Protein backbone atom coordinates (compact mmCIF):
# COMPACT_ATOMS: atom_id res chain seq x y z
CA UNK A 1 0.00 0.00 0.00
CA UNK A 2 1.12 3.55 -0.71
CA UNK A 3 0.00 6.55 1.33
CA UNK A 4 0.83 10.14 0.35
CA UNK A 5 0.32 12.75 3.04
CA UNK A 6 0.06 16.46 2.24
CA UNK A 7 0.88 18.73 5.19
CA UNK A 8 2.41 22.03 6.24
CA UNK A 9 4.08 20.26 9.19
CA UNK A 10 5.92 17.16 7.93
CA UNK A 11 8.00 17.08 11.14
CA UNK A 12 4.89 16.18 13.14
CA UNK A 13 4.46 12.98 11.14
CA UNK A 14 8.01 11.77 10.84
CA UNK A 15 8.50 10.29 14.28
CA UNK A 16 5.17 8.45 14.70
CA UNK A 17 5.50 6.82 11.29
CA UNK A 18 9.13 5.77 11.62
CA UNK A 19 9.09 3.58 14.70
CA UNK A 20 7.81 0.26 15.92
CA UNK A 21 5.23 -1.49 13.76
CA UNK A 22 5.02 1.27 11.13
CA UNK A 23 8.77 1.08 10.66
CA UNK A 24 8.55 -2.69 10.32
CA UNK A 25 5.78 -2.32 7.71
CA UNK A 26 7.98 0.03 5.72
CA UNK A 27 11.15 -2.04 6.12
CA UNK A 28 9.29 -5.10 4.84
CA UNK A 29 8.14 -3.12 1.81
CA UNK A 30 4.46 -3.54 2.74
CA UNK A 31 3.74 0.14 3.36
CA UNK A 32 5.17 3.18 1.61
CA UNK A 33 4.44 6.54 3.21
CA UNK A 34 5.43 9.71 1.36
CA UNK A 35 5.12 12.99 3.20
CA UNK A 36 4.82 16.15 1.09
CA UNK A 37 5.32 19.71 2.27
CA UNK A 38 2.35 21.69 0.93
CA UNK A 39 4.52 24.82 0.73
CA UNK A 40 6.27 23.22 -2.26
CA UNK A 41 3.12 24.32 -4.12
CA UNK A 42 2.85 27.73 -2.39
CA UNK A 43 1.35 30.62 -4.36
CA UNK A 44 4.35 32.90 -3.86
CA UNK A 45 7.98 33.02 -2.78
CA UNK A 46 6.93 33.53 0.85
CA UNK A 47 5.49 30.04 0.98
CA UNK A 48 1.91 31.25 1.26
CA UNK A 49 -0.71 28.47 1.29
CA UNK A 50 -3.54 30.15 3.23
CA UNK A 51 -5.53 33.37 3.15
CA UNK A 52 -8.32 35.28 4.94
CA UNK A 53 -11.81 33.89 4.63
CA UNK A 54 -14.40 35.57 2.43
CA UNK A 55 -17.19 37.11 4.47
CA UNK A 56 -14.84 38.00 7.30
CA UNK A 57 -14.11 36.23 10.54
CA UNK A 58 -11.08 35.08 12.41
CA UNK A 59 -8.84 32.35 11.08
CA UNK A 60 -7.13 31.59 7.82
CA UNK A 61 -8.31 29.13 5.19
CA UNK A 62 -6.03 26.85 3.19
CA UNK A 63 -6.18 27.95 -0.44
CA UNK A 64 -7.37 25.91 -3.43
CA UNK A 65 -4.34 26.37 -5.65
CA UNK A 66 -1.58 24.77 -3.57
CA UNK A 67 -3.80 21.87 -2.53
CA UNK A 68 -5.10 21.21 -6.03
CA UNK A 69 -1.62 21.44 -7.55
CA UNK A 70 -0.28 19.02 -4.93
CA UNK A 71 -3.11 16.53 -5.53
CA UNK A 72 -2.90 16.77 -9.32
CA UNK A 73 0.86 16.31 -9.35
CA UNK A 74 0.40 13.05 -7.40
CA UNK A 75 -2.51 11.97 -9.63
CA UNK A 76 -0.29 12.35 -12.68
CA UNK A 77 1.90 9.55 -11.34
CA UNK A 78 -0.76 7.03 -10.27
CA UNK A 79 -4.46 6.52 -9.60
CA UNK A 80 -5.67 7.01 -6.05
CA UNK A 81 -8.48 4.99 -4.47
CA UNK A 82 -9.34 7.72 -1.99
CA UNK A 83 -8.38 11.32 -1.32
CA UNK A 84 -9.05 11.77 2.37
CA UNK A 85 -9.34 15.00 4.33
CA UNK A 86 -8.78 14.74 8.08
CA UNK A 87 -11.30 17.01 9.75
CA UNK A 88 -13.39 17.06 12.94
CA UNK A 89 -16.56 17.29 10.82
CA UNK A 90 -15.77 14.09 8.89
CA UNK A 91 -17.17 10.59 9.39
CA UNK A 92 -16.04 9.06 12.66
CA UNK A 93 -13.09 6.69 12.18
CA UNK A 94 -13.35 3.18 13.63
CA UNK A 95 -11.95 -0.32 13.19
CA UNK A 96 -14.38 -1.17 10.39
CA UNK A 97 -13.22 1.87 8.41
CA UNK A 98 -9.59 0.96 9.09
CA UNK A 99 -10.28 -2.55 7.74
CA UNK A 100 -11.90 -1.11 4.60
CA UNK A 101 -9.03 1.30 3.95
CA UNK A 102 -6.46 -1.46 4.45
CA UNK A 103 -7.80 -3.09 1.26
CA UNK A 104 -6.94 -0.03 -0.88
CA UNK A 105 -3.78 0.42 -2.88
CA UNK A 106 -3.08 4.17 -3.02
CA UNK A 107 -4.37 6.83 -0.66
CA UNK A 108 -3.82 10.57 -0.30
CA UNK A 109 -4.32 12.09 3.16
CA UNK A 110 -4.70 15.85 3.50
CA UNK A 111 -4.01 17.50 6.82
CA UNK A 112 -5.98 20.67 7.47
CA UNK A 113 -4.89 23.63 9.56
CA UNK A 114 -6.30 26.95 10.70
CA UNK A 115 -10.01 27.27 9.82
CA UNK A 116 -9.85 24.40 7.35
CA UNK A 117 -9.54 24.12 3.58
CA UNK A 118 -11.43 25.96 0.85
CA UNK A 119 -14.76 24.19 0.36
CA UNK A 120 -14.17 23.84 -3.39
CA UNK A 121 -11.32 21.40 -2.76
CA UNK A 122 -13.67 19.33 -0.63
CA UNK A 123 -16.36 19.40 -3.33
CA UNK A 124 -14.17 18.55 -6.28
CA UNK A 125 -11.30 16.42 -5.00
CA UNK A 126 -11.94 14.92 -1.58
CA UNK A 127 -13.60 11.49 -1.69
CA UNK A 128 -13.74 10.84 2.05
CA UNK A 129 -13.62 12.98 5.17
CA UNK A 130 -12.48 11.38 8.40
CA UNK A 131 -12.63 12.53 12.01
CA UNK A 132 -10.78 10.54 14.66
CA UNK A 133 -13.14 11.72 17.43
CA UNK A 134 -15.37 14.46 18.74
CA UNK A 135 -12.64 16.90 19.71
CA UNK A 136 -10.64 19.46 17.80
CA UNK A 137 -6.92 18.96 17.22
CA UNK A 138 -4.60 21.78 16.18
CA UNK A 139 -4.20 20.20 12.77
CA UNK A 140 -4.83 17.01 10.84
CA UNK A 141 -1.31 15.55 11.23
CA UNK A 142 -1.88 13.60 14.41
CA UNK A 143 -5.19 12.35 13.02
CA UNK A 144 -3.37 11.25 9.83
CA UNK A 145 -0.77 9.40 11.91
CA UNK A 146 -3.62 7.63 13.76
CA UNK A 147 -5.22 6.55 10.48
CA UNK A 148 -1.92 5.36 8.94
CA UNK A 149 -1.07 3.37 12.07
CA UNK A 150 -4.52 1.76 12.37
CA UNK A 151 -4.54 0.87 8.66
CA UNK A 152 -0.85 -0.04 8.27
CA UNK A 153 -0.86 -2.66 11.01
CA UNK A 154 -3.69 -4.49 9.23
CA UNK A 155 -1.72 -5.07 6.04
CA UNK A 156 -1.00 -8.77 5.58
CA UNK A 157 2.49 -9.63 6.85
CA UNK A 158 2.97 -6.54 9.04
CA UNK A 159 2.04 -8.20 12.32
CA UNK A 160 3.33 -11.59 13.36
CA UNK A 161 1.20 -14.27 15.07
CA UNK A 162 1.87 -12.84 18.47
CA UNK A 163 0.60 -9.39 17.63
CA UNK A 164 -2.07 -10.54 15.17
CA UNK A 165 -4.82 -8.00 14.63
CA UNK A 166 -7.38 -10.79 14.96
CA UNK A 167 -7.08 -10.53 18.74
CA UNK A 168 -7.47 -6.78 18.95
CA UNK A 169 -10.23 -4.99 20.75
CA UNK A 170 -13.03 -4.08 18.29
CA UNK A 171 -12.09 -6.69 15.69
CA UNK A 172 -15.22 -8.66 16.72
CA UNK A 173 -17.04 -5.72 18.32
CA UNK A 174 -15.68 -6.77 21.73
CA UNK A 175 -13.12 -5.06 23.92
CA UNK A 176 -10.01 -7.10 24.70
CA UNK A 177 -9.98 -9.28 27.84
CA UNK A 178 -7.54 -8.50 30.69
CA UNK A 179 -3.97 -9.76 30.33
CA UNK A 180 -1.29 -10.62 32.92
CA UNK A 181 2.40 -11.48 32.95
CA UNK A 182 4.94 -12.73 35.53
CA UNK A 183 5.04 -12.86 38.48
CA UNK A 184 1.92 -14.90 39.25
CA UNK A 185 1.62 -13.01 42.53
CA UNK A 186 2.59 -9.37 43.12
CA UNK A 187 1.83 -7.66 46.46
CA UNK A 188 -0.69 -10.43 47.18
CA UNK A 189 -2.52 -9.69 43.93
CA UNK A 190 -2.86 -12.98 42.12
CA UNK A 191 -3.24 -13.80 38.45
CA UNK A 192 -6.58 -15.66 37.93
CA UNK A 193 -5.98 -19.40 38.49
CA UNK A 194 -7.53 -20.34 35.18
CA UNK A 195 -4.72 -18.63 33.25
CA UNK A 196 -2.20 -20.86 35.04
CA UNK A 197 -4.24 -24.04 34.52
CA UNK A 198 -2.84 -24.95 31.11
CA UNK A 199 -6.38 -25.84 29.93
CA UNK A 200 -6.48 -23.96 26.61
CA UNK A 201 -10.19 -24.47 25.99
CA UNK A 202 -11.13 -23.13 29.43
CA UNK A 203 -8.75 -20.21 29.01
CA UNK A 204 -10.29 -19.31 25.66
CA UNK A 205 -13.82 -19.47 27.16
CA UNK A 206 -12.74 -17.36 30.13
CA UNK A 207 -11.21 -14.73 27.85
CA UNK A 208 -14.36 -14.55 25.79
CA UNK A 209 -16.54 -14.15 28.91
CA UNK A 210 -14.27 -11.43 30.22
CA UNK A 211 -14.34 -9.64 26.86
CA UNK A 212 -18.17 -9.74 26.80
CA UNK A 213 -18.39 -8.57 30.44
CA UNK A 214 -15.96 -5.71 29.86
CA UNK A 215 -17.81 -4.64 26.72
CA UNK A 216 -21.19 -4.72 28.56
CA UNK A 217 -19.79 -2.53 31.29
CA UNK A 218 -17.73 -0.08 29.29
CA UNK A 219 -19.11 -0.01 25.77
CA UNK A 220 -22.62 -1.49 25.63
CA UNK A 221 -23.13 0.37 22.34
CA UNK A 222 -20.72 -2.08 20.64
CA UNK A 223 -22.99 -5.02 21.50
CA UNK A 224 -25.95 -3.32 19.84
CA UNK A 225 -24.22 -3.17 16.45
Given 7, 131, 210, 215, the residue binding ligand ADE (CB under 6 A)? 131
Q: Is 133 in the site for ligand ADE (CB under 6 A)?
A: yes
- Of 11-19, 35-43, 54-62, 86-94, the segment contacting ligand ADE by CB under 6 A is 86-94
Q: Is 143 in the site for ligand ADE (CB under 6 A)?
A: yes
Q: Measured between alpha carbons, how far is 87 from 131 in angstroms, rounded to an integer?
A: 5
Q: Is 7 in the site for ligand ADE (CB under 6 A)?
A: no
CA dihedral 115, 49, 7, 82 (to 10 degrees): 80
- Of 12-20, 84-92, 187-195, 209-217, the segment contacting ligand ADE by CB under 6 A is 84-92
Q: Of residues 151-210, which lie at the interface with ligand ADE (CB under 6 A)?
A: none
Q: Of residues 96-125, which lie at the interface with ligand ADE (CB under 6 A)?
A: 112
Q: Is 88 in the site for ligand ADE (CB under 6 A)?
A: yes
Q: Is 59 in the site for ligand ADE (CB under 6 A)?
A: no
Q: Is 140 in the site for ligand ADE (CB under 6 A)?
A: yes
Burial of 43-52, coded b for 16+ CB within 10 Å and e otherwise, reads beeeeebbee
The residue sitting closest to ligand ADE, measured at its beta carbon, is 143
Q: Is 6 in the site for ligand ADE (CB under 6 A)?
A: no
- Of 7-15, 24-32, 56-64, 82-90, the segment contacting ligand ADE by CB under 6 A is 82-90
- Cα 123 to Cα 31, 81, 129, 209, distances in angstroms: 29, 16, 11, 47
How many residues are listed for the chain in this entry?
225
Identify the three-state secondary structure at position 78: coil
Number of residues that bind ligand ADE (CB under 6 A): 12
Q: Measured between alpha carbons, how far is 212 from 57 in angstroms, rounded to an integer?
A: 49
Torsion angles phi and psi, residue 192, rounded to 5: -50, 135
End-to-end CA distance of the chain: 29
Q: Measured between alpha carbons, how far is 131 from 209 in angstroms, rounded to an integer?
A: 32
CB of 76 to ligand ADE, least distance (A): 27
Query: Where along the sequence are the contacts to ligand ADE (CB under 6 A)?
Result: 86-88, 112, 131-133, 135-137, 140, 143
Amino acid sequence: MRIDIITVLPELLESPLNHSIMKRAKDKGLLEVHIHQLRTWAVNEYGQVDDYQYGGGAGMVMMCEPLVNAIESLQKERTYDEIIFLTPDGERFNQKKANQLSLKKNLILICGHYKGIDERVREHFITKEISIGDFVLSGGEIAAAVVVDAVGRLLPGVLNDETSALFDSFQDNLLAPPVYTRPAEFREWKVPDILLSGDLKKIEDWRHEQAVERTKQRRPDLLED
